[in-house]
């Protein structure tokens, strides 16, 4: 079993079949099929189920894909480091919605000053999606809010985040000095999608209060929700870091209810070799977090 076998296997996974993989790798289709047979014979396992003329990864195949992805990427990083001394290349970074808005741009800018030869390829998505990308080794590291669930991912907290229930200045609850969560029953809510970390925090908060909430709006765009809440269309739970300007300008108001505390974290696969560039980027993230905290972000 060689690195070539792993690359062929990964190409079949990525391209969705032998024919497409052969075309992408400029190989003959029988050579790709033979490499897959050699892999399965070598380990005595079945990596794909062949059904209806299509290949479907088995559980063993998915496990092999995880290891093969990390091994080939590690080899590529070795080649890059030996040839370029870690002064050129690509760093693949993920950020959840909040960290992508409040931290990612300044982190990439500061990192670029320290490692000008390295390009940062960024993905902004939900924490759940970023966790999956870390496991598939399509990201080197990510900044997220809230917990991750895989035991194969390491999580390094670097900044505290505050979530607060907010409304617009024209909302009927604006200006109330006291409220309980039960006072929110029957109110309209504008919320993030279900797999987001903010939505998970909101659902937990409502569950503890014994409330069942059906959102009036549900969106993957926090800015769409912010604009809706500003106009008095409902209530939402927002990260204070993310809407600091709107709070300072009075376009959003915090309701007098206990906030939710959570952590921003850097996450990466436990088997991931962190290059010097990746370690510099993580250090930059921590410094940017200190700056953000010093600026008064809550």
Q: Mind listing the pLDDT tens digit for each residue in 201-218?
A: 898 889 888 888 889 999
Task: Give the mean pLDDT of 190-203.
Answer: 87
Give me the percent of the chain exceeding a pLDDT of 90: 48
Q: Does the pLDDT of residue 87 top 80, yes or no? A: no
* Phi, psi at 44, each rounded to 5°: 70, 35
DSSP-derived 3-state class of residue 248: helix
Relative to beta strand 190-192, strand 89-95 is unpaired
Domains in the chain: ranges and CATH: 3-81 (1.10.10.10), 88-159+263-294 (3.40.190.10), 161-261 (3.40.190.290)
Task: Give the mean pLDDT of 68-73.
Answer: 87
Over residues 96-147, the pLDDT tens digits come to: 988 998 899 999 999 999 999 899 999 999 888 999 999 988 999 999 987 8
Q: What's residue 292's pLDDT?
A: 84
* Phi, psi at 96, each rounded to 5°: -75, 175
Helices (H), the chain: 3-15, 18-24, 29-43, 59-84, 97-102, 104-114, 127-135, 197-208, 222-230, 244-248, 276-294
11 confidence band (pLDDT: 50, 70, 90): very high
Q: Does the pLDDT of residue 281 top 60, yes or no? A: yes
Q: Does the pLDDT of residue 185 top 80, yes or no? A: yes
Q: In angstroms, rounded to a whole number, what is the distance separating the alpha carbons of residues 269 and 262?
A: 21
Between the alpha carbon of residue 231 and those of residues 81, 114, 148, 228, the distances in Å are: 52, 42, 34, 5
Q: How many CB atoms lie within 10 A of CB 234?
A: 19
Task: Determine whether 176 is exposed, middle or buried from the number of CB atoms within 10 Å of its CB (0-12, 13-18, 19+).
Answer: middle
Q: In angstroms, rounded to a whole number, what is the distance separating the alpha carbons of residues 211 and 74?
A: 48
Q: Does the pLDDT of residue 294 top 90, yes or no? A: no
Residues 6+ positions from 33 with CB-CB distance below 8 Å: 18
Q: What's residue 88's pLDDT?
A: 57
**Higher pLDDT among residues 77 and 29, named by residue:** 29
- The encoded tokens of residue 247 equal 């709070």
Contact by Cβ (8 Å): 215, 189: yes
Q: Does the pLDDT of residue 82 top 70, yes or no? A: no
Q: What's residue 297's pLDDT?
A: 47
Task: Give the mean pLDDT of 186-214.
Answer: 88
* Phi, psi at 66, each rounded to 5°: -60, -50
241 confidence band (pLDDT: 50, 70, 90): confident
């Amino acid at each position: 079993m060689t690195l070539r076998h792993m690359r062929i296997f990964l190409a079949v996974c990525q391209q969705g079949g032998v024919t497409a993989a052969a075309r992408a790798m400029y190989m003959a289709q029988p050579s790709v099929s033979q490499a897959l047979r050699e892999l399965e014979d070598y380990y005595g396992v079945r990596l794909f189920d062949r059904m209806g003329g299509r290949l479907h990864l088995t559980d063993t195949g998915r496990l092999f894909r995880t290891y093969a992805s990390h091994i080939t990427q590690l080899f590529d990083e070795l080649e890059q480091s030996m040839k370029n001394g870690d002064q050129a290349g690509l760093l693949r970074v993920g950020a959840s919605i909040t960290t992508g808005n409040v931290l990612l741009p300044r982190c990439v800018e500061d990192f670029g000053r320290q490692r000008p030869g390295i390009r940062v390829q960024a993905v902004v998505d939900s924490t759940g999606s970023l966790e999956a990308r870390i496991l598939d080794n399509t990201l080197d590291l990510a900044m997220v809010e809230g917990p991750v669930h895989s035991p194969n991912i390491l999580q390094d907290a670097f900044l505290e985040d505050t979530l607060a229930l907010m409304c617009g200045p024209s909302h009927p609850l604006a200006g109330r000095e006291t409220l309980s969560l039960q006072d929110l029953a029957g109110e309209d809510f504008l919320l993030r999608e279900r797999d987001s970390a903010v939505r998970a925090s909101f659902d937990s908060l409502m569950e503890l209060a014994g409330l069942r909430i059906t959102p009036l709006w549900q969106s993957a765009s926090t800015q769409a929700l912010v604009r809706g809440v500003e106009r008095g269309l409902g209530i939402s739970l927002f990260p204070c870091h993310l809407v600091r300007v709107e709070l300072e300008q009075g376009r959003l108001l915090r309701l007098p209810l206990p906030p939710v505390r959570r952590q921003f974290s850097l996450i990466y696969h436990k088997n991931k070799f962190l290059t010097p560039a990746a370690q510099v980027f993580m250090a930059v993230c921590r410094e940017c977090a200190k700056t953000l905290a010093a600026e008064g972000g809550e």
